[in-house]
Structure 1
C-alpha cells in the first residue's frame, strides 16, 4: 500500500505562535491517520539553495487522507495561526 506524505518547509517568524500551532496540529491528524515522521532543523545545505530552516514530514495512508486533513475544519481553523507564526511551504507527495 503506497503512502502519501506532506512535507513542510518552514521559516519561523514568531516562536510563541509557532509553538501554539505545532501543539495543535497533531489532533487534526488523528482522524486522517496522519503520523509525524520527522521534524528537524536544517544543519547544512549540501547542494543547491534552500530558503527555510525547519522541515516536517507527515505520513498519511493515501492522498485522499491528505486532502481530507488539509480541507478539514479542524486544520483550516489553524491556518491563520500558521500564517502569523511562520512562512511555510506545504507540499504533498504520493509515495
Structure 2
C-alpha cells in the first residue's frame, strides 16, 4: 500500500514507536530500563500513549503487552530510537523480554481514507 503524498502545507504527521512484548521478566534491570527509556524520550518530544497494556481482544489474540509512544513526527521517532541514550539501555529490555518494535508514521489530523483510495486508484 502506498503512503499518501504530502505537501509543505499539510499538517505534521505524528510518529509512533510500537512495542509488542512477551515473556517479560520483571526485575531490577527491567525497572531500570523503564525509568531510563522515559528519560530518553523527553529530548525527542515522546510521550506514553499506551504502556504495558494487555489488549482486550475482539479478533485474534496476542499473548503479550503493547507499548505505544507518540512523537511529534517520524524523524523524532527515528532520532529517539537511534539515539546513543536509547541504544545504551535497549539491552536491559532485550535481556528480560522478547520484543517486536516498529516505528510508524501516523496520518495528519485531516486524513481521510479518500486520500489513500485516490493514491491506489488514480
- Shorter-normalised TM-score: what interval? 0.7 to 0.9
Aligned to 1:22: 34
For these two proteins, the number of residue pairs brought into alignment is 94
Mark the runs of 5 or more structure 2 residues left unpaired by the alignment.
1-11, 107-122
Mark the runs of 5 or more structure 1 residues left unpaired by the alignment.
none
After superposition, what is the alpha-carbon deviation per residue over 1:57-79, rounded to whole angstroms, capped at 9, x for unaligned?
10011111111111111000011
- The yes-or-no answer on 1:41 pairing with 2:53 is yes
CA distance, structure 1, for counterparts of residue 93 and residue 31 of structure 2: 10
TM-score (norm 2): 0.69
TM-score (norm 1): 0.87
RMSD over equivalenced CA pairs, Å: 1.5
SS at match of 1:15: coil
